[in-house]
Structure formats: C-alpha cells, structure tokens
C-alpha cells in the first residue's frame, strides 16, 4: 500500500515514464511468476535436491563414523596382538628358563649318580681286594701251619727215641698217680 503511495508521490510530478513508476501489471506478473516458479522448483528441485544433500551428508557422516570405529577396532586388535605377543614371549622365556633349569638339574643328578656309582664300584673293588687279601693270608697261614706241623713232626720223629718215650710215659703215669 505504501508502495502505491510512494509511486503516486513520484509519478504525480512527471507525466511520462519515471524509474519509480509502479506498473500494476508487472506486480501481477511478478506474483504469478514467482509463485509458479517457487511451486515448481519446490516440487521438482528443492525437495529432491535437499533430501539428496542430506542423505549424502548423512552417508558421509556414517562412513566417517564407521571408519573411525574400524580404526579404533584395528588399534584394539593391534594392541591385543602386542599384548599376546608379549605374553607369548614371556611364556617362551619361561619355557626356555625351565628347560635350562631342568637340564641343569638333570646334569647335576647324572653327575651325582655317576659319582655315586663310581664310588660304589671303588668300594666294591676295595672290598674284593681286601677279601682276596684275607683269603690269600688265610691260605698262607694254613700252609705255614702245615709246614710247621710237618717240620715239627719231622723234628719230633727225629728226637723221640725209646728212652725218651719211656721217660714221657712214666712221667704221664706219675702224673696220673699223683692226681
């Protein structure tokens, strides 16, 4: 309304064409054109375009989120792997240490056993030796005794003649009579 008033003010001075002339027909056509254009564009362009834009933005956001998720998951997996690796290494170290300890023990044990066996064998050998010694000694003794007996027998046979025998018997008899 104030536009028409404005137009009136400006056109009243000039009879033919002013820049500020308001042509009602043009207003009419502007309204029609704009309304139709907006209606057509709204149905045909803005709705599909804006929804496509939103859809795309949503999909980009989703993909970014997914990528972020995948990255964190991968990181987690890597961390887990590293942890597992560390555990495995520790395990391996432990196993190696155990093996070493076992072998050490085994070595010691074997050494001890062999030493013990050696000692035992030495002991046995010593016992055998002493036994053999004893045997030999005994045999020697026996032989010496036999020899002595033989020798004494010979000596006795040599020295005991009739008078001596008579003397001895008499002596025995005397002893008997005394008792």
Partner 1 sequence: MVSDSTQVITDSLSTAHASGGNDTSWLMHHVMDAKVLDFEPFGTIHLPQLHLFGLDISITKHVVFLWLAAIILILIFNKVAKSYKKSLTPSGITNFMEVLIVFVRDEIVKPTIGKGHEKFLPYLLTVFFFILTCNFLGLLPYGSTATSNIAVTATLAIISFIVIQVGGMMQNGVFGYFKGLIPHGVPIWLLPIMGVVEILGLFTKPFALAIRLFANMTAGHIVILALLGLIFILKTFFVAPVSIAFALFIYLLEILVALIQAYIFTMLSSLFIGMAVHQDH
Q: Which of 8, 9, 34, 84 binds partner 1 (CB under 8 A)?
A: 34
- Proportion of the chain in helix, strand, coil states, percent, rounded to 5: 90, 0, 10
**56 near partner 1, rule: CB under 8 A:** yes
Residue 66 makes contact with partner 1 by CB under 8 A: no
In the bound complex, what is the minimum distance in angstroms from residue 62's beta carbon to partner 1?
A: 13
48 is a contact residue toward partner 1 (CB under 8 A):
yes
Judged by CB under 8 A, the number of residues near partner 1 is 38
Which range touches partner 1 (CB under 8 A), out of 45-53, 109-117, 125-133, 146-154?
45-53
Judged by CB under 8 A, does residue 41 bind partner 1? Answer: yes
For Cα atoms 60, 63, 64, give the angle at the middle one, nearest 5 degrees. Answer: 85
Of the residues 8, 59, 89, 166, which one makes contact with partner 1 according to CB under 8 A: 59
Q: Could you tell me which residues come within 8 angstroms of residue 31 by beta carbon, excluding any fewer than 6 positions away?
A: none
Residue 56 CB, nearest approach to partner 1 (Å): 4
First to last CA, the chain: 190
Q: Compute the distance between CA of residue 73 and CA of residue 67 in angstroms, rounded to an integer.
A: 10
Radius of gyration of the chain (CA): 70
Q: Does 52 contact partner 1 by CB under 8 A?
A: yes
User: Which 8-state DSSP code applies to residue 20?
Assistant: T
Distance, in Å, from the CA atom of 104 to the CA atom of 111, rounded to the nearest integer, reads 10
Stretch of 27-35, 98-106, 111-119, 162-170 lying at the interface with partner 1 (CB under 8 A): 27-35
- Tell me if residue 12 falls in helix, strand or coil: helix
Residue of the chain from 28, 90, 160, 174 that contacts partner 1 (CB under 8 A): 28
Q: Which residues bind partner 1 (CB under 8 A)?
A: 2-3, 7, 16-17, 19-31, 33-34, 36-38, 40-42, 44-50, 52-53, 55-56, 59
């Amino acid at each position: 309304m104030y536009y028409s008033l404005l137009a009136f003010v400006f056109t009243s001075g000039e009879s033919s064409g002013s820049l500020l002339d308001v042509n009602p027909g043009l207003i009419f056509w502007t309204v029609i054109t704009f309304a139709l254009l907006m209606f057509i564009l709204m149905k045909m362009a803005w709705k599909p375009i804006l929804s496509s834009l939103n859809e795309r933005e949503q999909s980009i956001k989703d993909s970014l989120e997914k990528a972020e998720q995948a990255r964190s998951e991968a990181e987690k997996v890597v961390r887990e792997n590293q942890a597992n690796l560390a555990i495995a290494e520790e395990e391996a170290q432990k196993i190696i240490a155990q093996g070493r300890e076992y072998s050490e023990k085994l070595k010691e044990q074997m050494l001890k056993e062999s030493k013990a066996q050696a000692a035992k064998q030495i002991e046995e050998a010593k016992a055998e030796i002493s036994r053999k010694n004893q045997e030999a000694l005994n045999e020697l003794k026996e032989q010496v005794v036999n020899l002595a007996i033989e020798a004494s027998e010979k000596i006795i046979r040599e020295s005991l003649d009739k008078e001596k025998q008579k003397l001895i018997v008499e002596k025995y008899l005397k002893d008997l009579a005394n008792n």
